[in-house]
Structure 1
Amino acid sequence: METPQVTIQLPARNTQSPFSHMRGAHVAVRVPDYEASKQWYMEKLDFRLIHEWPFGDLQLAYLAPANDDNFWVELLAGGQPEAGANYTDLDESLHPAGYHHFCIDVPSVDDTLRELSQRGVTLVGEAFNLSAIGKRLAFIADPWGNLIEFAEQLA
């Protein structure tokens, strides 16, 4: 079954806003084990280590996707973080309030999932098409339960 192309009409940019200079930069992910999380993102997702530094009893790092210098993930590690939920079902994850996931655009969700499967990454639910936004989506979780979405624009 063919999915119809969806065009989302963006509102005009507001260049007169005092905040018109704002751009997305990074998302921070809290993890309990600095070295293990850094290695997971670098080995499983091919993220690159951009910078790392201590902050009090925490260790932090910026990581970026293999070929994207405009979006970074900041790892916040150390101390005694409270354990988060570890979802195996996407529907379960939609109930709590607060941060849910970050998204990475990919040319093919299915090809991405095949490669991640070969690297031992577990899918959270099944890939699905969401016709309302014209995308194919899939979710994974890092070993600490932080959700990551992959999105493919459908033709």
Structure 2
Amino acid sequence: MTFTISHDHIGISVTAEDLEATVAWYSHSLGLTVESRFDTQGFTFVFLSRDGVRIELMAGGASTRQTWHGNVFGSMDPSRLHHFCLAVDDLDRVIATLGERGVELIGGPITAEAIGRRIAFTADNLGNIIELSEPVAA
């Protein structure tokens, strides 16, 4: 038997006190909009989306904030999500737009010849690493 699989969303847990700032960061910095928001079983869930990308913020369970610090390539802790990647059509334009919005890069841009991609890294207001990736022109 075969089945189809596709990406649905990325889930990020946040503290209740960080929820609104995180919604604002993704809305302002990456242009995502709130798709839905609801409370259930003591948690608040916010789904943000844009161009087929969906991010779920989950608030209520975490009691302390854990942040990322250090070199983007040296933060390979196997017990957590390292990063998520967003495909972009023009990395330089995205980097310029992020700069206008006060968002700094934490790595790159670099060309990863082995995978035919040009990549850069940033982090959200909580320190979650976000890779931005465009195909290298042939």
Bin of the TM-score, shorter chain as denominator length: 0.7 to 0.9
Which is richer in strand? 2
In structure 1, distance between residues paired with 2:9 and 2:124:
17
Q: What's the counterpart of residue 50 of structure 1?
A: 35
Matched-pair contact (CA < 8 Å) for 1:105–1:150: yes
In structure 1, distance between residues paired with 2:101 and 2:32:
14
* TM superposition shift of 1:79: 4.2
1:37-116 mapped onto 2 (5 Å cutoff): 37-65=22-50, 68=51, 70-93=52-75, 95-97=76-78, 98-116=80-98
SS at match of 1:111: helix
Aligned length: 134
Matched-pair contact (CA < 8 Å) for 1:87–1:124: no
- Equivalent pairs: percent with the same residue? 31
Q: Compared with structure 1, are the counterparts of its residues 116 and 129 closer, same or farther at alpha carbon in structure 2 (3 Å cutoff)? A: same
Gapped regions of structure 1 (runs ≥ 5): 1-15
In structure 2, distance between residues paired with 1:108 and 1:88:
27
Question: Which structure has the bigger radius of gyration?
Answer: 1
1:29 to 2:24 alignment: no
SS at match of 2:84: strand
The residue type paired with residue 61 of structure 1 is V
**TM-score of the two chains, using structure 2 as the length reference:** 0.88
Matched-pair contact (CA < 8 Å) for 2:69–2:127: yes
Q: What's the counterpart of residue 118 of structure 1?
A: 100
Matched-pair contact (CA < 8 Å) for 1:29–1:75: yes
SS at match of 1:114: helix
Matched-pair contact (CA < 8 Å) for 2:105–2:121: yes
The residue type paired with residue 47 of structure 1 is L
Q: What's the counterpart of residue 143 of structure 1?
A: 125
In structure 2, distance between residues paired with 1:25 and 1:77:
19
